[in-house]
Amino acid sequence: MATTARNQITIVDLNDAKSVQVYFTASQGFSQHYNPDTHKFSPAYPSANNVITPRVYETGDPNDHLARCTNVRYTINGTAFTASNSNTSYVVGADGRLTVKVNLTGNLNVTFEADYADEDNIVSKIGGSFTVVRNESSGALFQVVLTCPKGNIFDKSVAGDLTVKAQAVRGGTPDTTNVSYAWTQFDIRTGVWKPVASGRSNGAVLTVKPDDVLNFQTFKCVATDAGGSDAAATAEEIVTFQDLTDPYVLELYCPTGDKIVNGTGSTTVNARVWQGGTKVEDEATPEPSRKFTYAWMKLDASGKPSNFNGTTSPSKAGNPLTVGAADISGKATFVCEITKK
């Protein structure tokens, strides 16, 4: 199972004002490939426009609030564009989206700015930035391009699954001969890539279900050309999906304080799980009723794993965690990860 949430020992104020985050999705991805030998672009934006969509969220709210934005402005490589001064290359729509209609001559460094009105009609400035990269290959370089037709963010507007499509490209031209695709996903707990769930991949297409993404999940595609009419080659690319419909927040709390005095005594670290401002479970939740498992990692003052006193492991399980004086040599950090059962 994928890790649901992670935190280190800290003090969390859950009553702070809501913050606004801006994410971006691109219908043709955030890179364009150009082959100077064939003079071809992939994808070619004049025929397949790249539509950049800002996704605006308030903390704990899975709804996209782009519609609350006014005075939208994009600054592209130093030049500002709005709905009133768009041109044939860059079009800012009334809905706040940016459409790129021209092939790139270099990287596009883009800054997004807007006025955002919250539900109380309090207006604030918000913004974000992204880069659309122009990759120039020499000769028949083998690459793989990933696109997400419906975006890579699960929110209230998404009904069902999302997909990511892979296209092998050689020298700026789609390569469909003797090409196969393999998909894996990154396991943040073990730090390794593992196979995606059964039935998710179908050749060049990966189907991502909401249950596959707990807060965020990174997937990797490896394209392999077996050779024949072209030289054998491999290429890989990654894409990250986010789930904003059910974000979990992990709070770590020390009722007995986060300091051990004079090398004696102990302290307790409680883990509490929140979702949308509501506490889901905590250290007092009976074990049979718990939805999550709790894994702890001890790090020493230099940030390296350090065994718990009397054990041969830097890991422990359960909630709460009791930390004895013998576990602390000057300073130690305890990392907690929760995973859905």
List of residues 6+ apart from 233 with CB closer than 8 A = 142, 170, 224, 225, 227
Residue 44 is predicted with a pLDDT of 93
Cα–Cα distances (Å) from 129 to 34, 76, 339, in that order, read 23, 10, 32
227-245 in b/e burial notation, b at 16+ Cβ within 10 A? Answer: eeebeebebebebebbbbb
- Confidence band of 266 (pLDDT split at 50, 70, 90): confident
pLDDT top residue among 291 and 341: 291
- The amino acid that residue 268 corresponds to is T
pLDDT in tens, 202-214: 999 999 998 888 7
What burial class does residue 58 get, using C-beta atoms within 10 Å of its C-beta: 0-12 exposed, 13-18 middle, 19+ buried? middle
User: CB–CB of 108/76 below 8 Å?
Assistant: yes
The answer to pTM > 0.75 is: no
- Identify the DSSP state of 287: G
CA within 13 Å, CB half, 126? 24
How far is Cα 91 from Cα 196, in angstroms, rounded to an integer?
Answer: 38
pLDDT in tens, 62-78: 889 999 999 999 999 99
Q: Is the confidence at residue 198, as pLDDT, over 50?
A: yes
What burial class does residue 133 get, using C-beta atoms within 10 Å of its C-beta: 0-12 exposed, 13-18 middle, 19+ buried? middle
